[in-house]
Structure 1
Amino acid sequence: MNHITYPEMRQELIEYLQGLADPQYQRRVWVDQLLEDGVQHDEFDYAVHFLFDDTALASDPHSTIGWILKDASEADTVTAVVASIEAVFAKHGTKLSDAEYIELPEWHSVVATAATAVACIAAQ
């Protein structure tokens, strides 16, 4: 499928995934608040809200094919990212600071699954 109904939401997803895949960005922007060009504010919570609250990407990513995602492989990579975030929340809760989350051993899975998702989604 080549047509996406909401290309701006797809771009927003890619940007959130890029942030989740980049530990240096997380430290620099989320924790140290050293904002980059065009970024007024960013934090882990923004990616969580986009995935879990603002879209069906966390609950049913396959339903977003044609809307935000192009195919099942993209949906599967988003599923992996969501699962890694949910594993962090299940073990450590949802009240930690960004600085605390990115230091957790389980955070490495979030970074890795997000990097895989970026490679899949941004490449198409």
Structure 2
Amino acid sequence: MVQVKYPEMRRELEMVVEGLADPAYQRRVWVDGQPEDGVEHDEFGLAVHFLFDDSSLAQDALSTIGWILKDASEAESVTALVRAIDVVLNRYGTNLSDAEYIEVPEWRFVVVAAKATMAVLAGR
């Protein structure tokens, strides 16, 4: 089994991707503010900060292989997810509420990319 140097960052990535893949979670937690077990607060902005600011995943996912990601297929999948988020942010800016983001037509591509990334990260 391939190990990564920062398993806690990988787990955070997995949590971010799970949230991005689940529209019901987004509505319940991000919009309605109903925390879930082990999650005190979550929102789209936290996912963006993790992917774009707190890690190199958005800039160069390949460089995180061995650190956060296990292989090139994971890097490709994360890159596709980042591109889908970029489309939304480039088109609508960074000032919408989570309720507004999840209603834009392009959001469905974020969800699809996140579901695909979840599968790749889980080794399916």
- TM category, shorter: over 0.9
User: Which residue matches 2:73?
Assistant: 73
Please give the alpha-carbon distance, in whole angstroms, between the structure 2 residues aligned to 1:58 and 1:122. 20
Structure 1 unmatched runs, 5+:
none
1: CA distance, partners of 2:74 / 2:107:
21
Structure 2: distance between partners of 1:123 and 1:76 = 14
Q: Would you say 1:41 and 2:35 are equivalent positions?
A: no
Measure, in 1, the Cα distance between the counterparts of 2:96 and 2:72.
32
Identical counterparts, % of pairs? 62
Structure 1, residues 32-51: CA drift from partner, whole Å, max 9, x if none? Answer: 01111111100000000000
Give, as a single letter, the amino acid of the residue that structure 1 aligns with 2:15: E
Pairwise CA RMSD? 1.0
2:59 aligns with: 59
**1:71-90 per-position Cα deviation (integer Å, ceiling 9, x unaligned):** 00000000000000000011
Cα distance between partner residues in 2 of 1:104 and 1:34: 22
In the TM superposition, 1:1-124 aligns within 5 A as 2-123=2-123
TM-score (norm 2): 0.97
> In the aligned structure 2, how far is the partner of 1:114 from the partner of 1:87?
14
Number of positions where the alignment pairs a residue of Structure 1 with one of Structure 2: 124
Following superposition, the deviation at residue 123 of structure 1 comes to 2.9
Structure 1 runs of 4+ with >4 Å offset = none
Task: Deviation per CA, 1:12-34: give whole Å up to 9, x if none.
Answer: 00000000000000000000011
Gaps of 5+ in 2: none
The offset of 1:6, in angstroms, is 0.3
